Amino acid sequence: MSQQRVVLISGGASGIGAALATAHSRLGDTVVVADVHPRDPEHVHLDVTDRQAFARVARRVVEEHGRIDVFYNNAGIATGGLVEELSPEHWDRTIDVNLRGVVHGIEAVYPLMRAQRSGHIVNTASLAGLLPAPVMAPYTATKHAVVALSQALRMEARAHGVKVTAVCPGFVDTPLLQAVNRDVPATGVNGEAPALVERLRPHLLPAEELARIVVEALPKNPALVVAPRQARLAAWAQRFAPGLVRLATARELRRYRRAARRAR
């Protein structure tokens, strides 16, 4: 892994993507950051919901740098609220970014990696892709889909020398936590978000620490990267003691509903 790599990161201007960009840059890798909200003149504008734009960005990287060694399919949004609070816009926007955006990334990059007979696709999912997550049904549905897609593609891609990993972090200290339902109608979650963030703050995983964990894990080619330790324990509990997970999530659901009733 000491050889300089060419790394493409969607959603790379902030949060986990920005931390990954910094980690790879420190290793001497060539990093191309693509984001719908570029924060640097060197960033590439990319709306992941635009299939053709994604393909153009991927081709441009190969034309300029010769290859793509690591592709972080990372862009995503947070959507929250009870199902009865959600509008079609919530569902459409979440599916368009969190699922179709990932599909567009695979469509753009996977053929290029197949042609070069190498590469590593890293899809950002979530612990919510391994556990049921009430009050965020569109988000958890898309993240479960990303995990399944990653595992299926991993099996197919192996024959072509391409690796695939899904990253499933727990709560990470990123702007995403403060941007629930951005660009879509607010729900009760928006009023609860600041209190939730403060309650979770002592347990939030810094984005830089997640990036370190992911980058160090890549040489081992894991199917899943689940972090931090609490997230791994939760995933273990879902597999071997799902009743405990149901109890914990039911408690949080009751708390949310009580807060929603008080707010009316």
Positions marked active-site: 139
Identify the sign of the CA torsion 238, 241, 243, 244. negative
Give the phi and the psi of residue 27 in degrees, each rounded to 5.
Answer: -85, -5
Q: Are 71 and 121 in contact (CB under 8 A)?
A: yes
70-84 CB burial, b ≥16 within 10 A, e <16: bbbbbbbbbbbbbee
Between CA 24 and CA 204 the distance in angstroms is: 22
245-to-127, 169, 231 alpha-carbon distances in Å? 12, 17, 12
- Among residues 10, 14, 13, 48, which one has the least CA distance to residue 175? 14
* C-alpha dihedral, 61 to 58 to 91 to 244, nearest 10°: -70
- The strand pairing partners of 6, in sequence order, are 30
